Amino acid sequence: MQSRFRSDRRLTVRMGITLFLLGLLYVGFVAALIALLKSWVLVVVIVALVFGAQYWFSDRIALFAMRGRIVERDEYPELHGVVDRLAAMADMPKPVVAVSEMEMPNAFATGRNPDNAVVCVTTGLLRRLEPAELEGVLAHELSHVAHKDVAVITVASFLGVIAGLIVRFAFYSQLFGGRRDQNTMAVLAVVMGVSAAVYALSFLLIRALSRYRELAADRAAALLTGRPSALAAALTKVTGDIARIPTKDLRTAQAFNAFYFTPAFGSEPGLGKFFATHPSLEQRLDQLGRISAELGEATAPGNA
């Protein structure tokens, strides 16, 4: 079913290119695994099991990792009300609503398709945002579900995760595996090299896609609600408040930055912005400012 979120052809093209390029990496990666395990059947079984687990249970994994729990309407009636209204406006299935007991103000969406999606907000976010700002954030997350880029990021992340695990396995097996002949050492070296290359390339591809999909979600949310200034105000408020959260409280969250409304950085990442999962706050506010002008919105972004 097509939602009323404005489609984004450039996002669709980028998702297709990312998945195609990552698919090409599978050839060398699977070949390296077969060389290590010496059984293509075993490789296929392992890859299928891990991929299936990540695809089918990604929402549960993310909720568990971020201490989120599914909440009913009687617990959070206002939150459910906003999600109900946005789902009706967008003409899409209502996602499952969850809340994470975290001080960090943030939100994320996960799930393999619009019929099996979860939108989760932290209690820190609920305490900080005004109703219009919360609506903007939730519209942003629902657009990720409608555009199906949550599922693409989940699938795209799979190869990098497995490649990283293989590098660690090969490294520690060299350290603690005892003496090996030259052939075995050569195979391990090739596996480590291929896996490291796959991890690096997938890392860059996923982050390039992630930065664009955040801009696409901001744009779609602003156009659906008609209030880009409210989303801009939420972005400014959440980004500033995250900078004041102790770094130790952000470490767990940073592993899921690609899924979050705004990245869990306690301070500006410096040169790391070139490998960031999100565009800069300035880029996002500039885009919302242009949309506000196009819509003739009376209130400028950041002053809502």
Q: How far apart are CA 140 and CA 218, in angstroms?
A: 6
- Amino acid identity of 255? A
Give just the sign of the alpha carbon dihedral 252, 253, 258, 264.
negative
Residue 268 is labelled as binding a ligand? no
214 is in an annotated binding site: yes
Distance (Å, whole) CA 291 – CA 296: 8
Chain centre to alpha carbon of residue 264:
12
Beta-sheet pairing, 107-113 with 116-122: antiparallel
Cβ-proximal residues to 44 (8 Å cutoff; 6+ apart), any chain = none
Nearest-angstrom CA–CA distance, 155 and 143: 18
Query: What is residue 167's three-state secondary structure?
Result: helix
**DSSP-assigned beta bridge partners for residue 70:** 98
Active-site amino acid positions = 141
The answer to whether residues 266 and 245 touch, using CB atoms and an 8 Å cutoff, is yes
Calpha distance 235→278 (Å, rounded): 12
Identify whether the C-beta of residue 284 lies closer than 8 Å to the C-beta of residue 214: yes
Q: What does the alpha-carbon distance between residue 146 and residue 4 come to, in Å, rounded to a whole number?
A: 9
Q: CA–CA separation, 209 vs 212, rounded Å?
A: 5
144 labeled part of a ligand binding site: yes
The annotated binding site is made up of 140, 144, 214
The annotated binding site for Zn(2+) is made up of 140, 144, 214
